[in-house]
Structure 1
């Protein structure tokens, strides 16, 4: 799954990668981003709108959903294209969540040990996501997850869908709506580029948000 991530790369660095001229919602460095908060995303509000970096709510609940409908933070790659709750957004409202890393937890001696997972070269990563307009008119998103690969499998059975650089434009292409066409065009970042290390359990509390959270534990 993906339930916590970090984004400390600055807006110009992120916007340059996508060739964006507009950042509607600049952000400050965050080292412990939880669900149920506003996060940056690259998206188009409609097919004719330019691509922008804007804020989305991390929690997916379309405006047409019943009051008691769920508000998931993740959507699985196995079901996102076929589930009635997600398939409209998968076809027409895809977005990218920029991140520097994500956190996951592994059981060690009866305790949950957090790990920091990122690219080996420390370049930002791009998490595939979908969004829908919420009842208040703002966009809300869910980050896609897939079975864990490479070293990430030792930490958790699932991981966010991290796209490779060549997949960013197709993922954001509003004309690409067919599931099979997308499947052929979209590729995840090779597992060999992912590394991880254990970090302080301070990350378990969302009130903690500082650079020390991503430092390796002593001895690692």
Structure 2
């Protein structure tokens, strides 16, 4: 799964790479982003216009769903294209969420130990996401997940779906709606690029997201 992540350098790097039209100043650095908060993403609304910055609530409940409907933060990549809750957004409302890394918790004899997972080359990470309009008119999103690969599997059995550089533009392409075509042209990041290390348990406090030391090795 992906229940906490960091984004401090990734936004400007991915924005430049995608040619994003930035509507406002970029988001502040955050080192421990929890669900149920506002995050920043990128989308493309038409093929002939560049991608744009997007303000997203991390929690997905389409406006057509009832008030008691689930508000997930993740969606499984294996079933997102066929699930009644997600398939319309998968076809037409895909987004990228810039990150530098994410956190998972490993069970130990002394309790759950948080680990920080990131790219070994420190290049930005692009989470695959989908979004939908919420009842209040804002946009809510989920981050797609897949079975953990490479060293990430040492910490958890799931991980966010991270796209490789060649897949960023196809993922955002609003004219690309067929699920099989999307699966053929979109690839996840090479698992060999992922590394992790234990970090301070201070990351357990969701409100603590301004401390750059949270990602340092414990």
TM-score, normalisation: structure 2? 0.95
How far residue 11 of structure 1 moved from its aligned partner, in angstroms, is: 4.3
Tell me the matched-pair count: 217
C-alpha deviation, 1:22, in angstroms: 1.9
Aligned to 2:215: 214
Contact conserved, 1:113 with 1:198, CA < 8 A, in 2? yes
* Map of 1:83 onto structure 2: 83
What are the ranges of 5 or more consecutive residues in structure 1 without an aligned counterpart? none
Distance 1:212 1:101 in 2: 14
- For the 8 Å contact 2:10–2:99, the answer to whether it is kept is no
* Equivalent residue number for residue 41 of structure 1: 41
Distance in 2, matches of 1:46 and 1:69, equals: 30
Q: Could you say what the CA RMSD is over the residues aligned between the two structures, in angstroms? A: 1.5
Aligned counterpart, 1:58: 58
Q: Which has the higher contact order (CA 8 A, sep 6+)?
A: 2
Identify the residue that residue 161 of structure 1 maps to in structure 2: 161
Aligned 1:30-179 pairs, distance under 5 A:
30-44=30-44, 50-179=50-179
* Equivalent-residue separation in structure 2 for 1:11 and 1:190 (angstroms): 21
Return structure 1 stretches of 4+ with deviation > 4 angstroms: 45-50
Relative to 1, partners in 2 of residues 1:25 and 1:135: Cα closer, same or farther, differing over 3 Å? farther
- TM (norm. structure 1) is 0.94
